[in-house]
């Protein structure tokens, strides 16, 4: 850790009140991680212990090497979906090899500066990401509410009342933890027969050990696992960086995105060598930690991993008694407080530009349909770029006037606006070629002092305009170009083979 980060941890450890908040937050997160890690293991087609070990090692490792304090990393559904086909076709050793290689890819991407791409994600996509996250967290609870014994429903309702009500009474103890404990005691004492954590799968009874994947170190093996590793690296980084940015906004603090990127890589490498399925930032549990429990430091992330291992290895029988209804209530509450309700309020929709609302809805819709936050963000960014280009394309205007220059009549076209491929394509049609070819017009002046040339498409269009006027026997002069535009035109003019 850096000195300032170590100082922050020390300050937390020296404050009993702060330490209690971080410890209780870590405990709540650990309890919430258990059923999800088991469920993601099922998706990936591996033993539940593989997912639980991954959640432990990811959380503990990232608490030291990550760039965003209080963010939780563990086994995730997005990673499970990416690596599941490799598990089915080649088995566990190839899967673990892919996890290790994904970690290496993430470190390389961090070195190459991939985190700088975060600046190109607009606010509308970020809002869509958050809202889609809340919807996915809620949808993930629906299987626990379908085809279950009727006592599940009142238990979930009671859990929601406890989580919401206890927060209004006191924040001394996280209300999600209170709900989990009270509902577990109620279910056990009253003998209520409802699905529990132990119904999700067998919990491990020992610590993770060193795992060396038995695969041939050949080019063929690399070709087999590399596509899965690269997909896992990209999906994991995107989700982690988006979650990191979300936590930045919630806590009004900044994080080191480059460090978070290579930290995720280090965590996946270590996780692979300890027999875990890999992972990335897990958004729902991060919201429990930061927004639901008030955690702010690396201590909560570290303790979440430690508590997870202690709970499943030494207290597995007790943890197994927790009713799934309690965890469902907590996750429904988290989805509700995560959703940006302000973004869909009628007053906001009325004020917001329709294009930004459309981008937000496209992001949400894509994520919900694909169940993949990375794909949704990618589609949202592309939609934002397309709509921005469409909007800016209409900002370029052309105004025609006739003036006397040195005793000669000149048609002057004043171009106002940014000229790039989207706006300059219409530029060619905004000149009066036939009218300017009349005898009383001696010269055509194109005034670009209020414009800027951004790309080769614009240079090609200006070449086409100039050439067409010359075929009509008219002299064309371009004036008002700024230095950057002049340099681009001098470099490219007449060399692009522009067609009319």
The DSSP secondary structure of 52-76, one letter per residue, reads: HHHHHHHHHHHHHH-SSTT--EE--
Contact criterion met (CB below 8 Å) for 237 and 109: yes
Give the residue carrying structure tokens 């992330």: 301
Q: Give the per-residue pLDDT at 500.
A: 42
Sorted by sequence, the CB contacts under 8 Å of residue 299 that are 6+ apart come out as: 9, 12, 13, 19, 22, 23, 26, 63
d(CA 39, CA 81): 12
d(CA 219, CA 498): 46
Which residues of the chain, if any, have pLDDT below 50? 498-500
Burial letters 338-370, b for 16+ CB under 10 A, else e: bbbeebeeeeeeeebeebbbebbbbbbebbeee
Q: Give the per-residue pLDDT at 407.
A: 67
d(CA 76, CA 38): 10
Average pLDDT, the chain: 87
Q: Give the per-residue pLDDT at 3.
A: 66
Q: Give the per-residue pLDDT at 498.
A: 44
d(CA 262, CA 305): 19
Sorted by sequence, the CB contacts under 8 Å of residue 75 that are 6+ apart come out as: 36, 37, 40, 41, 51, 52, 54, 55, 58, 276, 277, 278, 279, 282
Sorted by sequence, the CB contacts under 8 Å of residue 240 that are 6+ apart come out as: 71, 73, 260, 261, 264, 280, 281
Question: Within a 10 A sphere around the Cβ of 408, how many other Cβ atoms?
Answer: 12
Contact criterion met (CB below 8 Å) for 106 and 265: yes
d(CA 421, CA 390): 10
Q: Give me the helices (H) in 252-404, please.
A: 257-273, 283-287, 298-314, 316-319, 324-338, 346-351, 354-370, 373-393
d(CA 164, CA 321): 23
Pairing of strands 280-281, 73-74: antiparallel
Sorted by sequence, the CB contacts under 8 Å of residue 434 that are 6+ apart come out as: 472
Q: How far apart are the first and last CA of the chain?
A: 61
Mutual orientation of helices 373-393 and 354-370 as an angle, nearest 10°? Answer: 160
């Amino acid at each position: 850790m850096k000195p300032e980060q170590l100082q922050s941890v020390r300050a937390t450890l020296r404050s009993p009140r702060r330490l209690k908040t971080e410890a209780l937050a870590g405990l709540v997160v650990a309890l919430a991680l258990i059923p999800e890690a088991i469920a993601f293991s099922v998706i990936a087609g591996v033993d539940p212990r593989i997912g639980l070990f991954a959640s432990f090692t990811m959380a503990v490792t990232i608490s030291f090497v990550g760039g965003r304090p209080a963010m939780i990393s563990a086994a995730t559904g997005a990673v499970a979906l990416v690596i599941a086909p490799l598990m089915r076709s080649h088995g566990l050793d190839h899967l673990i090899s892919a996890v290790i290689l994904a970690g290496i890819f993430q470190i390389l991407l961090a070195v190459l500066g991939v985190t700088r791409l975060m600046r190109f994600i607009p606010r509308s996509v970020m809002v869509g990401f958050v809202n889609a996250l809340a919807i996915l967290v809620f949808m993930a609870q629906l299987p626990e509410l379908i085809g279950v014994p009727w006592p599940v429903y009142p238990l979930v309702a009671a859990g929601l009342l406890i989580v919401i009500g206890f927060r209004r009474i006191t924040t001394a103890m996280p209300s999600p933890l209170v709900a989990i404990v009270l509902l577990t005691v109620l279910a056990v004492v009253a003998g209520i027969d409802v699905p529990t954590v132990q119904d999700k799968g067998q919990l491990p009874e020992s610590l993770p050990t060193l795992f060396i994947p038995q695969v041939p170190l050949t080019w063929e093996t690399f070709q087999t696992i590399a596509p899965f590793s690269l997909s896992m690296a990209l999906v994991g980084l995107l989700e982690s960086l988006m979650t990191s940015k979300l936590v930045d906004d919630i806590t009004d603090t900044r994080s080191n995105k480059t460090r978070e990127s290579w930290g995720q890589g280090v965590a996946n490498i270590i996780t692979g060598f300890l027999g875990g399925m890999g992972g990335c930032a897990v958004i729902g549990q991060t919201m429990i930690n930061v927004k639901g429990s008030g955690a702010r430091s690396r201590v909560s992330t570290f303790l979440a991993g430690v508590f997870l291992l202690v709970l499943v290895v030494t207290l597995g029988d007790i943890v197994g008694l927790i009713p799934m209804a309690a965890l469902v209530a907590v996750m429904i509450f988290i989805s509700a407080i995560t959703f940006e309700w302000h973004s869909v309020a009628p007053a906001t929709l009325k004020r917001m530009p329709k294009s930004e609302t459309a981008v937000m809805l496209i992001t949400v819709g894509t994520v919900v349909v694909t169940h993949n936050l990375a794909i949704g963000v990618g589609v949202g960014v592309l939609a934002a770029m397309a709509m921005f280009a469409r909007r800016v394309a209409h900002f370029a205007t052309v105004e025609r006037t006739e003036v006397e220059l040195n005793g000669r009549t000149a048609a002057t076209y004043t171009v106002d606006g940014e000229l790039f491929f989207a706006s300059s394509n219409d530029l060619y049609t905004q000149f009066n070629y036939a009218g300017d070819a009349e005898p009383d017009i001696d010269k055509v002046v194109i005034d670009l002092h209020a414009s800027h040339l951004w790309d080769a498409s614009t240079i090609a269009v200006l070449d086409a305009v100039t050439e067409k006027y010359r075929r009509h026997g008219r002299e064309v002069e371009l004036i008002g170009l700024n230095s950057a535009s002049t340099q681009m035109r001098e470099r490219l003019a007449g060399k692009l083979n522009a067609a009319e």
